[in-house]
A and B are shown apart, each in its own frame.
Chain A
Amino acid sequence: MNKQKKNQKKQYNFMAYRRFAVIISAVLILISLASLAIRGLDLGVDFTGGSVIEVGYPSTANVDEIRATLEKAGYDASVQSFGSDKDILIRLAPDNDSGNKDNISQKVLEVLQKHTAGVEMRRVEFVGPQIGDELRDQGGIAMLLALAGILIYVTLRFEFRFSVGSVVALLHDVVITLGFFSVIGIEFDLTILAAILAIIGYSLNDTIVVFDRVRENFLKIRKATTEESINTSINQTLARTIVTSLTTLLVLFALFFFGGEIIHGFALAMIIGVVIGTYSSIYVASSSLLMMGVTREALLPPIPDEESEEIEQMP
């Protein structure tokens, strides 16, 4: 008896705090939506069109001086250091290089090389205005398609209300991550879009694991209320949720600190997404199940009850 007790894990009553969680989520989402509506996203060259030129200086570069040099040469450019103080990122608005035939990047490089010897071209990105628009549309469509595909799969495997729950959790994660980028004002480029789509996959992964347990417990524990079943499920999967989030965060931090400047935004978006996703799979997904009134009957297989229970009880 004693041993049994020692082996029983502590149960947390997650669902008791769910009203509190709803408030937190609602506040976060409102802030995100407000920021997205007012400030919008700082869309990168991938989406707006324009040019980005990364140059490497042999020694510490003076950002102000570079800005002045470019201004004098007639370029309306934004200049900032990138990663190290030797790397400089120069952004040019799309209007400046219609057609790209006149090789603006080459000219900018020449201006800088004339000013400082040994400046090296590291990266040039030019995106035409129509490509930017297309990528923006495609990104939106990709997100919707991913959501639709997932909605269908979860409906097939579980039930419609579960798929609504998982999509609510997904939207919650995506909106808050986007909101974070809007509030902080970090440039939103293609790699971050990829991160958002990866977050969709990850967050869903987490939610599915909890839902799987909910389904199992609905079928197994007959006397419990829906709320109790969900609570038990969350507790049973808690260790896994935390361990997986931890290992994923470990590698993401490795990417963030060692993966180089270009992958920085990606890693940051993923880190936020994983943290929010972990929270949402516990609270948002499950709360929405409760709100939509999911019951164990809804999940029972179409065959008569008794038969299915016999199957469940077989060792």
Chain B
Amino acid sequence: MNRYPLWKYLLIIAVTVIGLLYALPNLYPSDPSLQITMEDRYKFNGKELENIQTALTAAKIAVKRVDSDKEKLMVRFANTDDQFASVDPIKAALGKHYITALTLAPTTPSWLKSLNALPMYLGLDLRGGVHFLMEVDMKTAIDKSMERYRIELGSFLRDKDLRYLGVIHDGDSLTVKFKDEALRANALEALKREYNLTSSLLNFQEIPNKKGVALKVTLTEVNINNTKRFALQQNITTLRNRVNELGVSEPIIQQQGLERIVVELPGVQDPAEAKKILGATATLEFRMVDEENDPYLAQSSRRTPVGDKLFLERNGNPILLKRKVMLTGDYITGADPGFDENQRPSVTITLDGKGANIFGRETGKNVKKLMGVVFIEHKTELKKLPDGTISKKTTKTQEVINVARIQERLSKRFQITGLDSTKESNGLAILLRAGALAAPVYIVEERTIGPSLGADNIADGRNAVIIGFVFVLIFMAFYYRVFGLVANLALTLNLVLIIAVLSMLQATLTLPGIAGIVLTVGMAVDANVLIYERIKEELRNGVTPQIAIQSGYEKAFSTIADANITTLIAAIVLYGMGTGPIKGFAITLAIGIVSSMFTAIMGTRAVINLIYGNRRIKRLQIGGGL
């Protein structure tokens, strides 16, 4: 008795082999590396390798190896000091249009890679980097959408010859004014046909007005949700572009909930810079200057001439620009920082076809006249008020950075100046290239882990796992003798399986995740303890060893299942509710529970059967004087 069928042994062997194979990549340490990629639309010219090597030899930095393929170069170093030191020489050697990123490159051998076996993905708390949680300012998104409808409704009514007195944008509603009810009724019918026929976009409410009557227009629930979803999606795309511009390997940009975006940038050393680029809403607008009216007069009298808008230049001087926007930043496809003939920082802008047409037409009409470039930025401030509520204030700054006379018709490419520093021209170029945010974002959570702390966390975590593991091994061997050794085998396999599953899933390993592994090591033996205590009890009741083994395993099973399922419930709740680090803990705990069921029950039974099964035995080496 106590024999296991062959297929069970085969299954255990197969699981062990697969587990070992997929856990194996974690034994190969990662190289601190510099990853080099090209900006969009640029390709490697083939001389990079040579240039890098010359530059690094000159800077006396030793390179471990350089891997290259069509899309990226990976320059590997022996230590992080060399890695950091290499950034500037390499950047200088390569010049423009290259993106460099600090990263950890795995040294997984190719035969393992071909099996898709990769090392675990380390969380930011282990590899260092920045984590941002950004909230999209949905009020602004809705506001912008209302503003679009204001313009759209006006031109719609004009086109259809439906007479109205004006459209006012007031908070989250529009008021369309009419002279009398008949005109309003006509307009309402047309508007409903236009906006609410296929799907209901706008709510119309008939309200009285001082002179005549009016329609109050608001967005429908569906429309609001769509607007929000669009703003979120658009922002994710823009943020992804910006992150690519920053040069980060393996970034994570994800939606969280309905209004938030998670951005994780492994290896980023300068969170301030990243924050500035990611959160920035800067864009440009081009408007003509009103050269006939006096801006100082307009400023002091607070009366802006019709069709004009008062702006301030960077030096604080007022300037009158036309209300009509010639071109917005939306048409910009390329922007390169550089210098003008006077060595002032500049940005060379490239427009898409449509933008080039519009801009060509507008500038052609206005040759020899002054044009202003407006730099627009949103800033959101959060403050917790004494009563516990949170106030949100978004301020929009608009400055005229540059005023120049149009010398000739401008079209696809042109240069703007008037920026304070090269840092600003670089930043603006990135923002213009990556596209504008649909609505401002602001950071509601930031976690930055320096590289040294990350390395410490890995070392501490590894130590804790090893020491805890060895403690348990010694204890089990001492307390349960042969059976303890068998349990130790199972525990080791369990650890291998947890690591293998984490590697296969490419789930993120965090420090709390390591705590989860340690905890699982402690709790995984529980199943074996339950079984062994049950066997001892059976032996005490005078049952023969073989029967004791059999009923020990059988009777303990339902207890083990109950106990583990309840812990699994807690782990699932943790995963569902938790954020990053907590999720990591929940994942390792859950994997550990499931794999321990396999190793502790089936695994140990197989070995015990091999040792004791199918022969006459008087005693079991299970400790406790039995």
Does A262 count as interface, using CB distance less than 8 angstroms? yes
Number of contact residues on A: which range applies?
35 or more
DSSP class of A's interface residues: helix, strand, loop or mixed? helix
Give Cα A209 to B512, complex, Å: 27
The reply on B521 being an interface residue by CB < 8 A is yes
Is A243 a contact partner of B559 (Cβ separation < 8 A)? no
Task: Check if B253 is an interface residue, CB within 8 A of chain A.
Answer: no
Decide yes or no whether A130 CB sits under 8 A from chain B: yes
Whether B512 contacts A266 by the Cβ 8 Å rule is yes
**Residues of chain A contacted by B564 (CB below 8 angstroms):** 205
* Cα–Cα distance between A151 and B495 once the two chains are bound (Å): 31
Q: Does B147 contact A (CB under 8 A)?
A: no
List of A residues within 8 angstroms of B572 by Cβ: 149
Contacts of B512 in A (CB 8 A): 191, 194, 263, 266
Q: Is A103 engaged at the interface, CB distance under 8 Å to the other chain?
A: yes
Interface residues of B in 458-476 (CB under 8 A from A): 460-461, 463-464, 467-469, 471-472, 475-476
Distance in angstroms from B320 CB to nearest chain A CB is: 30
How far is B570's CA from A4's CA once the two chains are assembled, in angstroms?
A: 42
Distance in Å: Cβ of B595 to nearest Cβ of chain A: 16
Check if B526 is an interface residue, CB within 8 A of chain A. Answer: yes
Which secondary structure dominates where chain B touches chain A? Answer: helix
A149 to B442, CA, bound (A): 36
Give the distance to chain B from A157, nearest Cβ to Cβ, in Å. Answer: 6
* B448 touches A (CB below 8 Å): yes
In the complex, the answer to whether A254 meets B390 with C-beta atoms within 8 Å is no
Instruction: Give the contacts of B376-425 with A (CB-CB under 8 A).
Output: 379-384, 390
B515 with A266: CB separation less than 8 A: yes
Query: CA of A191 to CA of B541 in the docked complex: distance in angstroms?
Result: 45
Beta-carbon contacts of A199-222 to B below 8 Å, as 1s and 0s?
011101100110011001000000
Interface segment among B172-180, B243-251, B578-586: the answer is B578-586
B542 within 8 A of A: yes
Give min CB distance, A128 to chain B, whole Å. 4
Let me know if A138 and B533 touch, CB within 8 A.
no
User: Within the complex, what minimum Cβ distance (angstroms) separates A240 from chain B?
Assistant: 4
Q: A65 contacts the other chain (Cβ, under 8 Å)?
A: no
Residue from A54, A138, A259 with most neighbouring chain B CB atoms (10 Å): A259
Task: Point out the residue from B521, B542, B577 that lies within 8 Å of A4, measured CB to CB.
Answer: B542
Is A259 in contact with B446, judged by CB distance below 8 angstroms? Answer: no
A310 to chain B, nearest CB (A): 18
Given contacts A138-B577, A250-B472, contact A258 B464 (CB under 8 A): yes
Nearest chain B CB to A180 CB, angstrom units = 19
B581 is contacted by which of A154, A190, A243 (Cβ under 8 Å)? A190
The answer to whether B518 and A259 touch across the interface, beta carbons within 8 angstroms, is yes
Whether A294 is near chain B, meaning CB under 8 Å from some CB there, is no
Q: Which of A147-202 contact B (CB under 8 A)?
A: 149-150, 153-154, 157, 190-191, 193-194, 197-198, 200-202
**Taking the complex as formed, is B272 at the interface, i.e. its CB lies under 8 A from any CB of chain A?**
yes
Q: Is the CB of B460 within 8 A of A260?
A: yes
B567: interface (CB < 8 Å):
yes
Within the complex, the shortest CB–CB distance from A142 to chain B, in Å, comes to: 4
Residues of B within 8 A of A106 (CB): 271-272
Verify A126–B461 contact, CB threshold 8 A. no
Q: A131-B445, A263-B460 are in contact. Are A251 and B566 (CB under 8 A)?
A: no
| Complexed CA–CA distance, A20 and B511 (Å) | 41
Q: Chain A residues with Cβ under 8 A from B469's Cβ?
A: 251
A208 touches B562 (CB 8 A): yes
- Residue with the highest number of chain A CB atoms closer than 10 Å, among B442, B448, B515: B515
B380 contact from A4, A99, A236, A248, Cβ within 8 A: A99
The segment from B36-44, B77-85, B338-346, B449-457 that touches chain A is B449-457
In Å, the complex CA distance between A198 and B586 comes to: 9
Interface contact A123-B526, CB-CB below 8 Å: no
Which residues of the other chain, B, contact A121 by a CB distance below 8 angstroms? Answer: 448, 450
CB distance from A207 to the nearest CB of B (A): 9
Given known pairs A251-B472, A259-B518, A270-B519, the reply for A142 and B450 (CB within 8 Å) is no
A128 and B445: CB pair below 8 A?
yes
In the complex, how many angstroms separate the beta carbon of B377 from the nearest chain A beta carbon? 11
Answer whether residue A23 sits at the interface, using C-beta atoms and an 8 A cutoff: no
- Size class of the B contact interface (CB-based, 8 Å): 35 or more
Residues of B within 8 A of A240 (CB): 526, 529-530, 533
Question: A residues within 8 A CB of B567?
Answer: 201-202, 204-205
Contact present for A154 and B519 (CB under 8 Å)? no
| Cβ contact within 8 Å between B448 and A251 | no
Closest chain B residue, CB of each to CB of A191: B512
Q: In the bound complex, how far is the Cα of B530 from the Cα of A205, in angstroms?
A: 12
Give the contacting residue for A7; candidates B522, B540, B559, B589; CB below 8 A.
Answer: B540
Among B133, B272, B563: residue with most chain A CB under 10 A: B563
Interface residues of B in 462-492 (CB under 8 A from A): 463-464, 467-469, 471-472, 475-476, 479
Chain A residues with CB under 8 Å of B135's CB are 128
A126 near B445: Cβ-Cβ < 8 Å: yes
- Least CB distance from B140 to A in Å reads 15
Interface string of B533-568 (1 = CB under 8 A from A): 100110111100000000000010011001111110
Which residue from B380, B461, B522, B566 sits with its C-beta under 8 Å from A250?
Answer: B522
**Is B574 a contact of A49 with CB atoms below 8 Å?**
no
Question: Which residue of B379, B444, B514, B519 contacts A198 across the interface (Cβ within 8 Å)?
Answer: B519
- Asked if B279 is at the interface (CB within 8 A of a chain A CB), the reply is yes
A142 to B569, CA, bound (A): 11
Is B571 part of the contact surface with A, judged by Cβ < 8 Å?
Answer: yes
B559 to chain A, nearest CB (A): 4
Once A131-B445, A146-B573 are accepted as A-B contacts, the answer to whether A262 and B523 lie under 8 Å apart by CB is: no
Q: Given A142-B578, A205-B523, A212-B558, are A101 and B471 neighbors across the interface (CB < 8 Å)?
A: no
- A120–B512 Cα distance when bound, in Å, is 24
Specify which of A103, A191, A240 lies most central, judged by the most chain B CB atoms within 10 Å of its CB: A240
> Which residue from chain B places its CB closest to the CB of A146 in the assembled complex?
B573
Instruction: Tell me if B606 is interfacial: C-beta within 8 Å of chain A.
Output: no
A40 at the interface (CB under 8 A from B): no
- B443 A100 Cβ-Cβ under 8 A: yes
Q: Is the CB of B519 within 8 A of A248?
A: yes
Q: Which residues of B contact A44 (CB under 8 A)?
A: none
Chain A's nearest CB lies how many Å from the CB of B115? 32
Q: How far is the CA of A267 from the CA of B558 in the complex (A)?
A: 30
- Please name all residues of chain B whose beta carbon is closer than 8 Å to the beta carbon of A258 when the two chains form the complex: 460, 463-464, 467
A153 to B561, CA, bound (A): 12
Partner of B446, one of A125, A129, A260: A125
- Residues in B neighbouring A194, C-beta threshold 8 A: 512, 574, 578, 581-582, 585-586
Most buried by A among B379, B460, B570: B570
Q: A145–B577 contact, CB under 8 A?
A: yes
Which of A94, A103, A213 is close to B384, meaning CB atoms less than 8 Å apart?
A94
Extra A-B contacts (8), CB below 8 Å, given A103-B275, A201-B566, A251-B469 = A54-B453, A100-B446, A128-B135, A191-B512, A209-B563, A240-B533, A250-B475, A270-B519
- Going nearest first, the 3 A-B pairs with the smallest beta carbon separation are A260-B460, A254-B468, A251-B468
List 7 A-B residue pairs with CB atoms under 8 Å apart, sorted by A's residue number.
Answer: A98-B383, A106-B272, A131-B133, A142-B577, A208-B562, A248-B519, A263-B460
